[in-house]
Amino acid sequence: MSQIVPMTKKGYAALKEQLHKMKTVDRPKVVKAIEEARGHGDLSENAEYDEAKNKQGLLEARIANIESQLAQANVIDPTEIDDDKIMFGATVTLNYIDDDEERVYMIVGEDEADLKKKQISINSPLARALIGKRAGDYIDFEAPGGYREIEVIKVEYK
């Protein structure tokens, strides 16, 4: 049974672009590498051939994975959401009470998550704790580094 994969419009477009590159650039490169390695003779002792075939297998598996994700995607445009509750696609401003530090995160799909870009997965413990909360709410949260108390400052959909 297939599972619906929540994804932002931006994340969906990025996956489609990655898939296109894999099919039009990466796949032909791997096929060419296999052909060149075949030209070196005996395939039973040809490390270049083995390496190229391994790359091909990994590439094809990744292509299949992305195609599956795109087929199961539930694309959500955060700009079309008008709600004061935190849900998928929300950009939240949080105040960590213990160090009085403000942090801003966007709640995105699993494959879009990137902490460097301040994007957290909908499946992360923090996002799960935030879902359904509003500005002004306090959350007691068990982070990997220990217990945290967080205040929701702002909820936006942009």
Of 158, 156, 157, 155, nearest to 139 by C-alpha is 155
Please indicate, yes or no, whether residues 9 and 40 belong to a single structural domain of this protein: yes
Number of domains in the chain: 2
Strands annotated E in 9-100: 73-76, 91-96
Residues 34 and 95 in one domain: no
Query: What is the phi/psi pair of residue 2, to 5°?
Result: -80, 150
Q: What would the pLDDT profile of 106-135 be if each residue is shown by its tens digit?
A: 999 988 899 999 999 999 999 999 999 999
Q: Which domain holds residue 92?
A: 78-156
Cα separation, 72 vs 5, whole angstroms: 6
Q: What is the DSSP letter of 21?
A: H
Q: What is the pTM of this model?
A: 0.76
Say which CATH number the domain at 127 has: 3.10.50.30
- Reported as a single tens digit per residue, the pLDDT across 68-86 is 989 999 998 888 888 889 9
Dihedral (Cα; 54, 61, 89, 3), 10-degree rounding? -150
Amino acid at the residue 7: M
